[in-house]
Structure 1
Amino acid sequence: MVDGAVARVLVDSPLPQLDHLFDYRVPDRLAGAVQAGARVRVPLRTGGRIADGWVVELVDRSDYAGTLSEVEDAVSTVPVLTPDVWALARAVADRAAGNASDVLRLAIPPRYVRVEKSWRSAPGETGDLPAAPPPISGFAPGLLEGALARGERIALRVDPGMRSTPSGAWVGAWAATLAEAAVNVLASDRSVLIAVPDHRDQEQVEAALADLVDPRRVLRADARQSGAERYRSFLDATGDAARIVVGNRSTVYAPASRLGLIAIWDDGDPLHAEPLAPGVHARDAALVRREQSGAALVFAGHTRSVDVQRLVELGWVHELAPARPVRPRIVLTGRQEAAEPGSARIPSTAWREAQRAVAEGPVLVQVARPGRVPLMTCARCRETAHCAACGGTIAVPADGGPATCTLCGTTTSGWRCPVCEGTSLRAATIGATRTAEELGRAFPRAKVVLADGERQVMRVGSGPALVIATRGAEPVADGGYRAVLLLDGERMLLRESLRVAEDCLRWWSNAAALAAPGAPVHLVGVGGALGTALATWRQPDWAVTELEARRALRFPPAVRVASVTAAPDRVAAASDAARRAAPGVDLLGPVHLDDGLDRAIVRFDYAAGKAVAGALRAEAVRTATERRKPVAGRRPQRPPVLRLRFDDPSVP
């Protein structure tokens, strides 16, 4: 037992064996500098190293029986780690068998000394901010007001379409609804977190907020900011004033005083999935934070992800939709084997609509991929063509010539389809650049706008224009598009992924929502249940059917999965530990990877998540701490590897 000022510190390290709190004695020289939540530097006994860390709490005594090491130095006296963020980081890390320090690297931006000094000299106190705006009543759907006040978990269906702000900016109806909900919560002196997939969505939310609340009450949190700007926004969020924080997936970790609302727009977008360890999805982090804070939680979208549908069926999330829902005018256009001359593979009905609409305003043409290169498929069964030598996809080069493999360059001489034995190829899709060229010739009097990952176009005016955009890169049009053509639907569905249909329905729905009232939306070449769900604007019904299918097959999100990558013996040991941890755990694989590693997929029910995470975490610690004796005359062996990824989006 050690008495005196003791700092409990989380060391900033990726090593799993260091993922717990260490007690350090606070020396007299740092008595006033070491504060709970501040950054410090502490010694590690191994090799006399000094490591960075966060002070989680200060206590009067330690249960450690030996002599405590002293805190080496106080990096800063600003408490950047708030108790709420620490509790969230610890909980989501344990859920994913990861390190809390990895989560905190996502939650807390790198320190900028100049910004910190400026902020300390003139902090944004509550008295310096304008008063919170009055609450907004009657925003659609009207029942949302009461649900926010009660702190409910909500799956919100918003109306498609565009709305004009008082300042004249056009935004999606969804952005206006979330902005009104945020202002309603801010009026009660509570903070709001709004997480969106990318900067296009963020710009719409900020534009919708601009006329409702003073900009000083709104903070940004995204990768487009400089490091200094992001750190300043983070420091402002740690204050006592209620704020609205708008940004990408890491926004769910933002410090917020008296959190009242967490809103996630389009949670099915892959950009909400965190690629860095421990890989916790923004939706899962938001669910954990809601339980810790009691704030309202809103999953808003034009479609509903299968993950949220599972929560709705469990009664954990409540469905909320407009009393009089609005749906766009969607037309399912059958596949056309031979495109009309000059029509750029657009069926005649959609072609006539485009000709009429482009004289009145902008027309949106959504395509599957950028560039010029067309991807090839079998002409008989439409299976994607793969190279017989290496398995790469086959496409036509940008400079013309015969179709070749995109990986090894092998030509397609003698190609035969492994599915139907066909020998003929056809273009599955044409890139956005070539589509723009063809439509430019077909509509010589119309302005052609190309929008993709390289040419980012945020907005277009209300004048006549043909906007060729890849999925997810569609600009906002003033007043909405006069017609929308959704091409390459078959090509989009060829992607090998469990979520391909869900993603396509989301892409098409978001594009259709950009249409002006009454404007036609043509979905080309796709029918069946997916096309019907879009045409009737009943995407939740499709999510119900999809969830039932995945439940029958024990696919996510009906169950949870964890991927285990390591040497074969370690994969076997980790898999056995997971199966012993809880009943009902089963294993897929293992399969052999490069570098002598194997990968296995562990499937388990949600109720077994804590036990399985604990068992796999113990195996990771055991692997990391194993010591191998060096062998004379041989090079030192590479340290053993055991990589864990819970809820891996690439599985299956």
Structure 2
Amino acid sequence: MPEARGPRVARVIVDTPLPQLDRLFDYAIPERLREQAVPGVRVTVPLRSAGRIADGYLVEVADDASFDGELSELDSVVSAAKVLTPEIARLARRIADRSAGSANDVLRLAVPPRMVRVEKAWLAAEHPAAPEEVPVRGVRGYRSALAEAIDTAGRVAVDAVPRLARTTAGEWVGAWAITLAELAARCVASGRSAVIAVPDYRDLDQLQAALRDAVPDHVLARVDAGQSNQDRYRAFLRCLEPSPVVVIGNRSAVYSPAHRLGLIALWDDSDPLHAEPLAPYAHARDVALVRAEDEGCALAFVSHTRSIEVQRLVELGWLTAHSPEPAVTPRVVVTAAQSGEQGPSRVPDGAWRAAKDGIAHGPVLVQVARPGYAPVLACATCRQAARCAKCQGPLGLDRAGAPPSCRWCGAIATGWECSHCGGTAVRLVTRGSARTAEELGRAFPGSRVIVSDGERRVTTIDERPALVVATRGAEPITPGGYRAVLLLDGDRMLARESLNVAEDCLRWWSNAASLAAPGAPVVLVGVAGPLAQALATWRQPAYASTQLADRRALKFPPAVRLASVTGTPKAVGDAVAALVAGTFIDVLGPTPVETRGAGRQGSGHPDAVRAIVRFDYAHGAAVASALRSAVVKAAAKGRKPRGDRGYRPPPTLRVRLDDPEIS
């Protein structure tokens, strides 16, 4: 007589934006779905409101339900593909709890939308689990201790070699890409996988070129936000296969599944592109830290300029620092701006000579602060910044001879009049990449001038002489490196209001200096003091240590953690009141939120305010839990009455932990 099977229960996370539904729901598994209902598959489930059917993921299967009443049954199993692995489900829950967010929001970043044809083709194919044979290699430029740390699941902070390197295919890439490729190859050789996240497509192209020398093509999976939905989903499914894989991509790559994960690595972790702009706003660095601890794999942060967050972990002994041996130092020359009749010279004599000597032998890089022609204008009479009459945004010029227009709303400023003195004429305050290229073209007649910025995508150039004017982060690669590098507008870059402005500038300048040919001059114009000294001596870790000491004294991040609480005055007050005494240091504010940024801050309420909570790392779980409860209560109060299908008011509370915008 066959043994009777007891009722089985499916625990499902439902795809919903409502924070009050951020938990596992129990559903009965009907007999018709017993074989298909396994952990990791997509399912549809009924919701009690108006007979709705919702999407979700089956997280686990149990014999007993946590609910005493009668369970609803699963509606369907969408596909046999197990797209949610136990490791990623666990990671989503931990990141959501750490960030006071919803696990479902994390899963939207981790699992791309389903592409039916791609998935059916993948399910029909065979996926061998045999390990790939890749030769074990060392890591060029570093002692064997770095390779040993990766082999033994160590945690390292690696100072990248500031040079360009050539692959066997003849492509020039940053030496940092070669280092990451060699680390990944060691993992693949031992039957493990690696996940590498980089800021943008320029870095991805270099890393992919370096990996072609290190691992077979079918081992590589690129998950890029610029891919089509079909290509992105195809690469995601490759990550699910039971064989080693090297996953490369932007910030969301840290959520990619991988067979026997052996390494998580981030390039340039202080780049703001690693910060997720979508809820729960978890930084890729924090996700990597949590995942490496959870899965027991190696962790590597590689950069030319060590972030203050990584420096803190190094000083705590949680990360081990590794530097190139022998040391490689670019030739940095610090030049003060020279004053003349028209004010300080943007390109002093020493920089002109370096550019003139360099262009005789090859391309010369000129880094500028802003794209465009003239990003900022001022009144010619009183020198006050020229503002738009409609939205009070800054005025600028898009090209020579064009009328001024607003940088915020785009309105043409016809008939402009200064609100301060009544003047009607404007003057240039800053020069963008296009204006700089125009001026350099006149100064070096007959020379090629190439502009690379957000509007002009240039990733590589040849070795012929040229003046390359690029905004920060958009510098192209040239064979052998630039014959000279000019870093202009340093004073304007430092004028930005941000706690991290010095760290950002040092990173921009260091990354540009690493593109110089060996022995070529790197001229930093108009900047002095400890920041210029750190670049000239190539001692970025020492500068990060000094900055960290200052922030410890002031109780600024990353010495402590921050949480921004934005919403209506009542909602913010209730959230702050929900915090348990002793779990936080203090509360700053609340203060009014600027109207222009209200939508970006999350509440959209005209009277929105923001409070900032400072707390120690040890109390992060308690603070996140209390603020999460406040979000759920605020969302529940905002629900529309039963039977009312009219307008639902927007959320009255937004919580963001480790918010970079308030630093």
**Residue among 328, 333, 337 paired with 1:331:** 333
Change (3 A) 1:384 1:132: farther
Aligned 1:45-444 pairs, distance under 5 A: 45-127=48-130, 131-142=132-143, 143-338=145-340, 345-376=346-377, 385=385, 387=387, 392-393=393-394, 395=396, 398-400=399-401, 409=413, 411=416, 413=418, 415=420, 427-444=428-445
Q: CA deviation at 1:502?
A: 1.0
CA distance in 1, matches of 2:379, 2:498: 20
Q: CA deviation at 1:442?
A: 2.1
Cα deviation, 1:234-280, whole Å, max 9, x if unaligned, reads 11111110111111001110001111111100000010000010000
Q: Confirm or deny: 8 A CA contact 1:3 1:61 kept in the other structure.
A: no
Cα deviation, 1:118-170, whole Å, max 9, x if unaligned, reads 0011143234x8x3311002522122111111211111001101111111111
Change (3 A) 1:592 1:117: closer
Q: Confirm or deny: 8 A CA contact 1:3 1:62 kept in the other structure.
A: no
Cα deviation, 1:196-225, whole Å, max 9, x if unaligned, reads 000110111111111221111111011121
Cα deviation, 1:603-638, whole Å, max 9, x if unaligned, reads 11111110001101111111222278979x9x9773
Q: Confirm or deny: 8 A CA contact 2:371 2:434 kept in the other structure.
A: yes
Matched, 1:613 2:615: no
Q: Confirm or deny: 8 A CA contact 2:586 2:613 kept in the other structure.
A: yes
| Residue 33 (structure 1) aligns with | 36
Change (3 A) 1:43 1:334: same
Q: CA deviation at 1:80?
A: 0.3
CA distance in 2, matches of 1:295, 1:414: 60
Aligned letter for 1:572? G
Change (3 A) 1:245 1:402: closer
Q: Confirm or deny: 8 A CA contact 1:272 1:283 kept in the other structure.
A: yes
Q: CA deviation at 1:643?
A: 1.2
| Residue 598 (structure 2) aligns with | none
Q: CA deviation at 1:399?
A: 4.8
CA distance in 1, matches of 2:139, 2:431: 46
Q: Confirm or deny: 8 A CA contact 2:640 2:648 kept in the other structure.
A: no
CA distance in 1, matches of 2:640, 2:454: 51
What SS class does the counterpart of residue 544 from structure 2 fall into?
helix
| Residue 484 (structure 1) aligns with | 485
- Greater shift after overlay, 578-587 or 639-648? 578-587
| Residue 660 (structure 2) aligns with | 649
CA distance in 1, matches of 2:70, 2:164: 66
TM score, norm. by length of structure 2 = 0.91
| Residue 637 (structure 2) aligns with | 626
- Greater shift after overlay, 528-537 or 621-630? 621-630
Cα deviation, 1:310-362, whole Å, max 9, x if unaligned, reads 11121111111123211100011111234999x99321111111111111111
Change (3 A) 1:72 1:459: same
| Residue 536 (structure 2) aligns with | 535
| Residue 497 (structure 1) aligns with | 498
Cα deviation, 1:568-618, whole Å, max 9, x if unaligned, reads 111101011125371524333232555232221111111111000110111
Q: CA deviation at 1:406?
A: 5.0
Cα deviation, 1:96-121, whole Å, max 9, x if unaligned, reads 01000100000001001100110011
Q: Confirm or deny: 8 A CA contact 2:584 2:616 kept in the other structure.
A: no
Change (3 A) 1:250 1:404: closer
Cα deviation, 1:13-43, whole Å, max 9, x if unaligned, reads 1111111101101101111121110000001
Change (3 A) 1:552 1:403: farther
Cα deviation, 1:463-521, whole Å, max 9, x if unaligned, reads 11111111110001111111001111111112121111111111110000000000000
What SS class does the counterpart of residue 662 from structure 2 fall into?
coil
What SS class does the counterpart of residue 73 from structure 2 fall into?
coil
TM score, norm. by length of structure 1 = 0.92
CA distance in 1, matches of 2:315, 2:381: 41
Change (3 A) 1:464 1:566: same
| Residue 596 (structure 1) aligns with | 607
| Residue 474 (structure 2) aligns with | 473
CA distance in 2, matches of 1:380, 1:516: 45
Aligned letter for 1:597? A
Aligned letter for 2:520? A
Aligned 1:545-564 pairs, distance under 5 A: 545-564=546-565
Return 5+ residue gaps in structure 2 as ranges: 595-604
CA distance in 2, matches of 1:124, 1:628: 47
CA distance in 1, matches of 2:340, 2:169: 47
What SS class does the counterpart of residue 294 from structure 2 fall into?
helix
Q: Confirm or deny: 8 A CA contact 1:124 1:236 kept in the other structure.
A: no
Aligned letter for 2:253? T
Change (3 A) 1:351 1:415: farther
What SS class does the counterpart of residue 510 from structure 2 fall into?
helix
- Greater shift after overlay, 572-581 or 228-237? 572-581
CA distance in 2, matches of 1:520, 1:340: 27
| Residue 463 (structure 2) aligns with | 462
Q: Confirm or deny: 8 A CA contact 1:585 1:605 kept in the other structure.
A: no
- Greater shift after overlay, 470-479 or 438-447? 438-447
Change (3 A) 1:368 1:78: same
- Greater shift after overlay, 521-530 or 404-413? 404-413
- Greater shift after overlay, 438-447 or 7-16? 438-447
Query: Identity over aligned residues, as a percent?
Result: 53
Q: Confirm or deny: 8 A CA contact 1:388 1:415 kept in the other structure.
A: no
Change (3 A) 1:281 1:397: closer
Change (3 A) 1:624 1:360: same
CA distance in 2, matches of 1:471, 1:139: 28
Q: May I ask how many residue pairs the two structures share in their alignment?
A: 642
- Greater shift after overlay, 586-595 or 552-561? 586-595
Q: Confirm or deny: 8 A CA contact 1:567 1:597 kept in the other structure.
A: yes
Q: Confirm or deny: 8 A CA contact 1:132 1:213 kept in the other structure.
A: no
CA distance in 1, matches of 2:388, 2:226: 43
- Greater shift after overlay, 476-485 or 622-631? 622-631
Change (3 A) 1:457 1:217: same
